[in-house]
Amino acid sequence: MVTGALDGVVIADFSRVLAGPYATMLLADLGAVVVKVERPDTGDDTRAWGPPWRGDQSTYFGSVNRNKRSVAIDLSSTEGVAEARALALGADVLVENFKPGAFDRMGLGFDQLSPHNPGLVYCSITGFGTSGGAELPGYDLLVQAVGGLMSITGSSPDQPVKVGVALVDVITGLHATVGILAALNERTTSGRGQRVEVNLLSSLLSGMVNQSAGFVGAGFVPQIMGNRHPSIAPYESYPTADAPMVIAVGNDRQFRACADVLGCPEWADDPRFATNPARVQNRSALFAVMCERLATAGAEEWFARLSASGVPAGPIHDVQGAFALADHLGLQPVAQVAGEPTVANPITLGRTPVTYRSAPPVLGESTLGDIEGLSAPPSPGGP
């Protein structure tokens, strides 16, 4: 029987919506037992976030909650808090994204639980940290705006737009996953858990990589450039005879190959285009001559010809086209869980692969007594 990399790890998941649930789903795919704690009657907010629906379930909720067990606990009641505490004391990891201080007031904070479960890895996800931004609500769109992402996304400086998915939540969920795995690894040596904290704003600033580094390292404040890149050319979208496509040349060798395919090998020796800094400086002139050549054939034809020469290029697909391409390339982008399709986990492990064991849970379908592997650990002071 194949075992998961995180078999035996129990996660008490008090997170809601996207960042936390995405992190805990990835950990569940890797074999962890994830107990999702939800409000009675309504559950996670995303259960109601539709359309689209698959049957009576929101596909949004389904996107981040497979391989989990749902327990309904009323954290506003004394009994519910006691049940939550019992879960936390029997878990290896606790994940929560409540307003800072909320769990401490309930007696469920790290400092309150750690003495009785010394191995507990306690991950808190917030919008803006636990100090000056503790009172600010953390929503992806808000952080895209105040965190600078919208200032570099859009077609023109007077038209900033959000990214078409809650990317900040996803980046934060990935950071939370890395932090949790690092803490679990360290625990194998020390025997002790620790606090893990991530927040949306810091995750976004890190996730903007070169744009953030340009400001921190050189004082450069990036601006909206549409599909162009501030440091590379040609690296943008282009019209063709039938549909737009992108060409993403990353070095001079690729540019020479691109010029050859487009029938203009002399471009590679033109002082305006011979090096990347020159191409960036003369990007408008380069764009104009490339558009002339690309207008002679369609996007798919150019995709085939450029790709065959090692030039990064491709048509602009919709999501259906993206899945079709991934399937064509043998990436198996769709998996099956309980007879239903799910977006495949992108991580491949040779000996302990991810598994798809159960569909997103029905609200409150389990009780703590049903959860395998859950037991309060020994502690010096008792609960």
Catalytic residue numbers, as ranges:
169
155-191 burial: b if 16+ Cβ within 10 Å, else e: eeeeebebeeebbbbbbbbbbbbebbbebbeebeeee
| CB-CB neighbours of 359 under 10 Å | 18
Judge contact between 238 and 290, C-beta under 8 A.
yes
Smallest CA-to-CA distance from 285 within 266, 296, 272 is with 272
**Lookup: tokens for 117:** 């479960």
